[in-house]
Chains A and B, each alone.
Chain A
């Protein structure tokens, strides 16, 4: 029988990505109540936005979906979507947490997905919510909504309330597990990468979205500039990372991410040349190195060049991109021509209160990572909010945080 502080107060898990889902399920299975706070309109976080995951090379969706459903069905877990933790106050015997929820005008528990609201909307502000939502529902984009109310009349179940206000609640919690993940950092300040100067210079996450099987191009490998298949693609590793100007650390997941994208490009469009420009090819986890070797062994191959390009520019005419780099293995400085350049590395921990001047609800270090407690003390953090982490590392740390929290005898720390 599990003992620990006998507490009626819930544990709050901040973030509904793989780390948060794991922490929530572990605590719930152990009999604790969990409030899962997620800022997006669906669970699943970054992994749900990916096309494929490494090293299994299948889509992340299936196993992720299982855990999302288990979270949604679990009687010990309450999910709060479109919500954030906006304040944390540590009192002698509990933690008072303020959670702010942005309203969804369409109540997803009542929406039957008939689509009449979308037909009625003249402002085109109604769209389906996350494509893998189960059950699916519609979502009103507040920036487009004119508040005419035509959709309200059409809804057969009365699910729409366009005056629904934001909700702020304050809960007494036993503690918080931070699992807020990562976001991209703007690369425009680093002029050598040319980000923003040409549509075919993209970040790796933008590219993932662009070539996704479930995305706008249905998996086809096309250039954003002219819609044609590129002749070749360059992956630039450590863009923004291991860089005193921007992110001094290594973002951890980008080497494998580039290898994964290169492998899938080769599968779908074998004639497209792929070159990965790297500094250290960090294939550290389970089966990762073998996965990277596979890149090299595939028929037309993926080229690996050790070197960090010093200049990426659109060529005159804008038809292709010039990339100047030193191949550190041949000691030659070269200029190569690529149709598409993918920048990899600009990942930083998510801002907890974007656009707000308020104090952070938890102590962060200079890079924005949660300053996690040592030796099992709070604050508890897992996944990228704590340090660069891939899926396995994130979920392992989540379970570790959960068991540490569950085993505490003394309750929350002041």
Chain B
């Protein structure tokens, strides 16, 4: 587990991990906090925030130095090994210990355990991806799996655990600036032509902007209208004060949501939507690429309509007559255009409790894991490249003025900006606190429950202090669940990864002071 607190954020996935642990599987947990998940680990590696590449490269160097890399797999199925080995030479255990805060012998132990295990997986979530160098972090982990052959085999693999019930499905369906449904490239003429023929309309031939670039375009006045569906950027964006200023500068904002969110409050037009998971029919795709049916159990309130109805009605206003297609009809059209979904009829999804893509025809059972092709002889398709990666510390550096490293994450009973989870009374709800280590609470002379002023280079807020023994001195924590109480994204930095567009929510430099009464 690397940068994932699945015990709290993905509890039922963690049930499966616990079964493994009870069956004798060993778990190493890399996390700045001794999280709920870390408490189940054989070894907890309390890493300093944003030093994952230094750790991963040091692990790789141990594996290579000890001769534990899997040369047959590397030679047959990968490229760039020699350059990669050269790139990790400076990542000695001494350097890694100094940079990451994890003792060298512990790094060495994990490296040897990972390399010599019959099967091993690396699971990660936003602790890896909410950094300015998110893609590099992921590539550094991929390097480890290529070194050891822990990929594309039953029981081994790379497991990014998805944070939303259909964030995978959104990508699958082409809600990405450069992809059509089924991950077909929008700039691929043949693929695009297929969709254009089916839809009877040309599709822009160039990749669009991802969210972060959209905000830049809005800031520069290149983008003047925005249509937001089921997202709450007025509370979820990093450096949210700036994001709100930018959105206020728009000529026209449309928001389609099940609630009048803070973003919807800013809108010129609001489309009240039905809740997809219980007021409409359709599918979602889970973290394990499993496409499953969602079904209508409730009538939506008032004038709320399903997303399909709203989009169809909007199309009618724009002069296109789509009628009101049923979810299954849309899905069948998707199956005709996206080969990896072709075998997933509604009937099969119903009978089998979901199917994991790719699923090419109605006889195909779906794939339990990907990249098995790398083990074929010779490997099918493109060989897997090693990526030389250089450690780069968080953008928001610690200083005398901002000496604490703040990171963010989820609580078990709450979710994202609280739009959904705020609706029920949870006996566990802790509220928007600033969590600090017992040592820091003592040195700051602030007691639990007392108000603290938390300031970063971008903003400042007040929140009650909570002592958390899972934190080490110098590390503080806030959740994103309670923006109305503690607007944590006033503090976070919008520095973002140029490849994924994800902002560095996980690493903010802050100052703590007892709030003036």
Q: A and B: partners?
A: no
Report B's interface with A, CB cutoff 8 A.
none
